[in-house]
Amino acid sequence: MENAVKRIGVLTSGGDAPGMNAAIRSVVRSALAMGIECVGIRRGYEGLIRSDFTLMNSSSVSRIINQGGTVLYTARSEGFRTEEGLRKAAATCKLLGIDGLVVIGGDGTFRGAQALSKYGVSVACIPGTIDNDIGCTDYTIGFDTAANTAVECIDKLRDTMHSHERCSVVEVMGRHAGFLALYVGLAVGATAVLVPETQYDFNAHVAEKIRQARLGGKTNFTIVVAEGAASAVEVGQQIRENVGLDPRVTILGHIQRGGSPTAKDRVMATRMGYEAVRSLAQGHTNRIICAKNEQIVEVDIDEGLAMTKTLNKEEFNVMTVMTGV
């Protein structure tokens, strides 16, 4: 039977994440293999409003699988939050003959796709965010690379902290979720880890952990702070005033979003990109592509966005045991 899907669009939106280019590559090449044309939308939803696009082919995505960032660029669009903006975006899809749209990004990106779907645009969403905070999927593209970047930075800081017998307070990304901080904290053997999911208590979560470590013979300490849990600068000040140490504060910031994606992120992005195109080609509409138990599956966008995600209990328990020792 002839494929009813002739042309699809692909865009990246919200914060960039390592592996987005690998996902774009997978979408384009999977589409071409299925006899479907692929249009790249530049600058996210703003590009849909402004009709900023490019027709993509196999060479368009050559040698980008190892690149961080996104070749389609990304932007936040205030106009897309309005009914007028949504109508313009839907009109662009209709004008270009786009039968389905693959969107790559995080929760805000998915909610934008959900809103656009109400205007008759079929969407397939690929989770790409270093926060790993999408409720319906075990994994989001970019998390592994960001974690490895943070671990590498903290390992280097630790060499100096060990040499000078000091305390290092390191702030990692995670405004509303502590998945990255918890994972990184476990990987570097942090003295304490602060996450947004737990109400911050300096004495219990920092001071006592440092005291336990010092009583155990340690002379250097690493505190990992998710940006949404507390201010690393304020934590450093509290350590100086209440524990008597002279801490050094490092905010890793956007360095965590950049860099060449790890093998895991490249493979997951490629698998998810293929599944997104396959889903649209089979006539499925308004889906989120998810990782569940190492398998790539899809869920309805309304159901997926209604799901919530909590920190891994086992990881949290292990972290609790390992910190302060």
Bridge partners of 297, per DSSP, are: 290
Q: At what angle are helices 179-188 and 313-322 packed, to 10 degrees? A: 40
Give the residue among 323, 272, 273 at the shortest CA–CA distance from 296: 272
Scored b (16 or more CB within 10 A) or e, 133-144 reads bbebbebbbbbb
Catalytic-role residue among 16, 52, 131, 144: 131
52 is catalytic: no
Mark out the alpha helices in the chain (DSSP H runs). Answer: 20-33, 44-50, 83-96, 107-117, 143-164, 179-188, 202, 208-215, 232-242, 263-281, 301-306, 313-322
Which pair of structure tokens corresponds to residue 236?
A: 């450093």
Grouping H, G, I as helix, E, B as strand and the rest as coil, residue 130 is coil
**What backbone torsions phi and psi does residue 222 show, to the nearest 5 degrees?**
-125, 120
Length of the chain: 325
Q: In what order do the strands lie in the sheet with 221-226?
A: 192-194, 221-226, 167-172, 248-251
Which pair of structure tokens corresponds to residue 204?
A: 């219990």
Q: Are strands 53-56 and 37-41 parallel, antiparallel or unpaired?
A: antiparallel
Catalytic residues: 131
